[in-house]
Amino acid sequence: MYRRSFLGVVTQALAIPAIARAQGHGQVGLRYPDRPIRFIVPFPPGGGTDVWARMVAEGMQAELGQPVLIENRAGAGGMVGAEVASKAVPDGYTLLYNITTHVQAPVTFRRFPYDPMRDFFPVGRLGTTAITFCIGPTVPASVTTLAEFVAWGRGRELAFGNYGQGSTGHAYALLLAQEAGLRVTQVAYRGEAPMLQDLLAGNFHGGFHSMTASGEMIRTRRIRPLATGGPDRVPSLAAEVPTLLELGYSRRFDFTGFTGLFAPARVPQPILDQLSAAFRTVATSTEMIRRLHAIDTVPGYEDPPAFRMSVERTLRQWEELAQSLDLYATG
């Protein structure tokens, strides 16, 4: 009897600090999650970022046992949504699903309403996708290769769209115009979906698109793919569409971005661990890998430490590229 009572007192005493720590975090760690979770997507519905976020949300709500809702908050190359997420209550119920513009936009706009490294915890990287230069109906149907487009475009006033000021698509469009000797006006959009609509409407000549958003339009020949950025061909277009590197353009087109999930940095570690584990299960599942391949996204899961290193590396690369191209917003 005495031994059991003594052990009971010791056990209770040892439990008090753990309970106090949980209470210090509003007890959220004891029952997380007990209500719906929100993914902020800093681009409009229908673009690549939105598609990936919804795929991840679907899997994570099954893992976490709560609905995962998508909130699209577009603007300023993705900075509007990212800033909202950075200032959210750090309880694990507001997360950010973002792409490479997470680090690109602050550099381009030369303002940091959030610190892409210090203000966020990198939950996990899903993968990457190449972006392909596509032309629309304002270009003659006889133009089927990039060389033919360049020959047709020289001496004309062209317009290229991009899905966000300072994005990879914007940088690639500037590089292509520069290296091909084209006169081009750059038109920035608040996401890929409205950009695609205007390309189909003939409001500009071409631009770089993710296969995630534009794949169906490419397959039905409503827009024409001419060349792909990055080190590798797009799998579904590999037989007909070369990379810009293969066509003799510079190594500056050899750039690989990321798509993944972030949490506000001050979320309690037990919750971050839970989110990271759920994301890993979803991102590495056979079904997710199958779905990613189906939309020409290269699976490339990275855990939080590896993902953090990728984000840091990308930030350094983008600072160098922005300076070399004068890739800065003027307004």
Report the CATH number that the domain containing residue 221 is assigned in CATH.
3.40.190.10
Domain end marker among 232, 253, 274: 253
Per the structure, the count of domains in the chain is 2
The whole-angstrom separation of Cα 61 and Cα 58 is 6
Domain end marker among 253, 274, 292: 253
Q: How confident is the model at residue 330 (pLDDT cuts 50, 70, 90)?
A: low
The whole-angstrom separation of Cα 38 and Cα 63 is 15
Beta strands in the chain (DSSP E): 37-41, 68-72, 94-99, 120-128, 131-135, 157-162, 183-188, 206-210, 224-228, 259-264, 298-302
The answer to whether residue 69 is domain-embedded is yes
For residues 52 and 212, is the Cβ–Cβ distance under 8 A? yes
For residues 115 and 262, membership in a common domain is answered with yes
* Mean per-residue pLDDT, 30-59: 94
Residue 29, pLDDT above cutoff 60? no
For residues 243 and 141, membership in a common domain is answered with yes
* Mean per-residue pLDDT, 16-45: 69
For residues 75 and 164, membership in a common domain is answered with no
For residues 122 and 205, membership in a common domain is answered with no
The answer to whether residue 3 is domain-embedded is no
For residues 235 and 136, membership in a common domain is answered with yes
How is residue 162 written in tokens?
């991009």
Average pLDDT across the chain, whole number: 89
Please tell me the pTM assigned to this model: 0.82
For residues 249 and 273, membership in a common domain is answered with no
183-188 β-sheet, strand order? 183-188, 157-162, 206-210, 131-135, 224-228
Pairing mode of beta strands 131-135, 224-228: antiparallel
**How do residues 76-122 score in pLDDT, each as one tens digit?**
889 999 999 999 999 999 999 999 999 998 998 888 999 999 999 99
The answer to whether residue 219 is domain-embedded is yes
For residues 118 and 260, membership in a common domain is answered with yes
Query: In 3D, which of 96, 56, 106 has the Cα closest to residue 72?
Result: 96
For residues 284 and 190, membership in a common domain is answered with no
The answer to whether residue 75 is domain-embedded is yes
The answer to whether residue 182 is domain-embedded is yes
User: CA triplet 235, 237, 238: central angle to 5 degrees?
Assistant: 65
Domain of residue 117, CATH code:
3.40.190.150
Domain extent for 168? 131-253
For residues 116 and 263, membership in a common domain is answered with yes
